[in-house]
Amino acid sequence: MDIRERILASELPTPCYVIDEQKLIENGRILKGVQDRTGCRILLAQKAFSNYDLYPAIAPFLAGTEASGLFEARLGAEKMPEGECHVFCAAYRESEFTELLKYADHIVFNSPSQLKRFGERARAAGKSVGLRINPERSTQDGHGIYDPCSAGSRLGTTLSQWEEHMTEELITLLDGLHFHTLCEQDSDALEVTLDAVEERFGQYLHRMKWLNMGGGHHITRKDYDIPRLERLITRMQDTYGVQVYLEPGEAVALDAGYLMTEVLDTLKNGDTDIAILDMSAACHTPDVIEMPYRPPLYRSGEAGEKQYTWRLGGPTCLAGDIVGDYSFDERLSDGDRLLFGDMAIYSTCKNNTFNGMPLPDIWQACADGSFKLLARFGYEDFRYRLGS
């Protein structure tokens, strides 16, 4: 039976996230193939997927984890200890840096001033030291919130800042360079970015041991151009003698998660049919509003495509708590169950309890066909964040 049918036919309580172990393994095999053919190393960016109960399923296919700060670094080191632990943060805190050195293998700084402040300590602790660069070449359209190359970006060192502040002493501290500019993009965007990186920083790449090309690579998407990606990896490794790293998060867990929800009520406003769900876009799938994007919904179509179009929204007081407009073959009724897809990424690690909304259970759809409860949340999980 199709995984989606199994979830809908189950007695799992709603709302609940379900993570598909078999799909994670399939994605992992694709990523492992890229590494085997090119010699690059691929890391899990935990900011997108950090459900560590599933790390044993994906660890055999990855070189380690990438973290955005102390807590993610510790999680990666503890839950995927056989792999490398890389960390990048826009600015490190003095009070956390000593502890961070316990977990990180690679530490990437965002600016020459942070490199100057912490670089010697990282090197003395035996860590590989890197600097994030900004190639100043945008390849995104319509997702400015996720574009590190936008004008005035706080992320990465531009060439002008490099030339002004990077002394020979600081350059000799570096083992590698890092950039992260993509968001859900194909390898053609990476090629444009690499041209800009070589144009601005190529003279320094020859002095590096590694180059981290960041995340945003949708490698496991069905139409992704993997051969082009592999040519680009080989080009950089052969030209500059560097070890290439990639750190996708979405590609690891793409299409490997679901959010099942139930219709609580139906109503009408003018010509608009509305269904109130027991999940909230604002609380349980915040990227729907932040990105924004329209998540796939099983057995549905675009607005107007099927006979009945419904606006799906959450139960919170936020007027904009709307998932989107979807069409169905039949009218929705109270108690109907719906299944949103692509919910393993940026959902469980970004959700919140606005309005006192309970967080959904997290379940694992095991490769053997069974379901396993990973986490259940209640009132105490809401309360403890707000006081003693």
Query: Where does residue 324 fall: left (phi above 0), alpha (psi -120 to 50 degrees), or beta otherwise?
Result: left
pLDDT digit string, tens, across residues 93-129: 999 999 999 999 999 999 999 999 999 999 999 999 9
List domains and CATH numbers for the chain: 3-18+256-383 (2.40.37.10), 39-252 (3.20.20.10)
Q: Provide the residue type at 268 as one letter.
A: K
Average pLDDT over the chain, rounded to whole?
97
Beta bridge mates, 66: 45, 86
User: Which pLDDT belongs to residue 163?
Assistant: 98
Average of per-residue pLDDT across 198-208: 97
DSSP strand pairing (41-45 vs 64-67): parallel
Whether the pLDDT of residue 141 is over 90: the answer is: no
What was the pLDDT predicted at 144?
77
φ, ψ dihedrals at 31, nearest 5°: -65, -40
- The runs of H, that is alpha helices, within the chain are 3-9, 21-38, 55-58, 70-79, 94-103, 112-124, 159-165, 168-171, 187-205, 226-240, 250-253, 281-284, 287-290, 379-383
What is the secondary structure of 163-202 as a DSSP string? Answer: HHH--HHHHTT-SEEE----SSB-HHHHHHHHHHHHHHHH
- CA 3 – CA 10 distance, rounded (Å): 11
Give tens-digit pLDDT for 23-62.
999 999 999 999 999 999 999 999 999 999 999 999 999 9
In the three-class reduction of DSSP (H, G, I as helix; E, B as strand; rest coil), residue 383 is classed as: helix
Give the mean model confidence (pLDDT) for residues 128-139: 96
Is residue 183 within 8 A of residue 146, CB to CB? The reply is yes
Query: Is the distance from CB of 363 to CB of 371 less than 8 angstroms?
Result: yes
The DSSP line for 268-293 is EETTEEEEEESS-HHHH-THHHHTT-
Tell me what the mean pLDDT of segment 61-90 comes to: 98
The predicted structure's pLDDT at residue 146: 86
388 pLDDT tier (thresholds 50, 70, 90):
confident
Q: CA–CA separation, 30 vs 356, rounded Å?
A: 40
Instruction: Calculate the CA dihedral of residues 99, 103, 105, 106 and round it to 10 degrees.
Output: -60
> How does DSSP classify residue 340?
E
Name the DSSP class of 301.
B
Amino acid 1: pLDDT: 83
> Rounded CA gap, 213 and 28, in Å?
19
- CA–CA dist 190, 182 (Å, integer): 7
**pTM, rounded to two decimals:** 0.96
Look at residue 91 in the predicted model and tell me its pLDDT: 98
pLDDT at position 142:
65
* Cβ within 8 Å of residue 37, ≥6 positions away: 230
At 140, the pLDDT band (50, 70, 90 cuts) reads confident
pLDDT, tens digit (0-9, with 9 covering 90-100), for 214-261: 999 999 999 999 999 999 999 999 999 999 999 999 999 999 999 999
What is the Cα–Cα distance from 208 to 188, expressed in whole angstroms? 24
Residue 321: C-alpha distances to residues 161, 211, 301 (Å): 41, 41, 20
How much is the pLDDT for 320? 97
Give per-residue pLDDT as tens, 276-322.
999 999 999 999 999 888 999 999 999 999 999 999 999 999 999 99
pLDDT of residue 93: 98
The amino acid occupying position 189 is: A
